[in-house]
Amino acid sequence: MSEQYIRRRRKRMSEMNVVPYIDVMLVLLVIFMITAPLMNLGVEIDLPQASAEPLSDQGDPLMVTVTRNGDFFLDTGDQPQLVDGETLVSTIAAIAARNPDLQVLVGGDRDAAYQHIYAAMVYLQRAGVPSVGLIGDPEDD
């Protein structure tokens, strides 16, 4: 046989081309960097400042937020929802019936009228909540 008919067998490359995976990773990184600041799941309020001892941890409390114009937001762990007073009472009463040790924290904007924060506490009392706490920022030294 002549040498021109003899073929050499080529070795197969056993390396993986990772360039497409790096491209996909960089695109996902850019998407997450853009969307992460937009995922603010709270209600923007200015809490009053005071010096007080923090409460002992008794699990995840419910949060009721009172805005400066008197709107109530109920945060049960998901995104806070705008509720009226009667919806606040019925929702928290249903949760309190299943959890007798329920703790509810009320956070009011520092410019909110005392009447609005007091109304939230009255609604919580009507719902049968045994423990209500107030949220505030620590004082600046």
Torsion of CA 125, 131, 132, 137, to 10 degrees: 180
pTM above 0.75, yes or no: no
Q: Does a structural domain hold residue 7? A: no
Residue 106: which domain range? Answer: 62-134
Domain count, the chain: 1
> What pLDDT is recorded for position 90?
92
Q: Using pLDDT thresholds of 50, 70 and 90, give the confidence band for residue 53.
A: low
CATH of the domain at 124: 3.30.420.270
Q: Is 141 a member of any domain?
A: no
- Mean pLDDT score of the chain: 80
Position 35, amino acid: T
> HEC string of 56-70?
CCCCCCEEEEECCCC
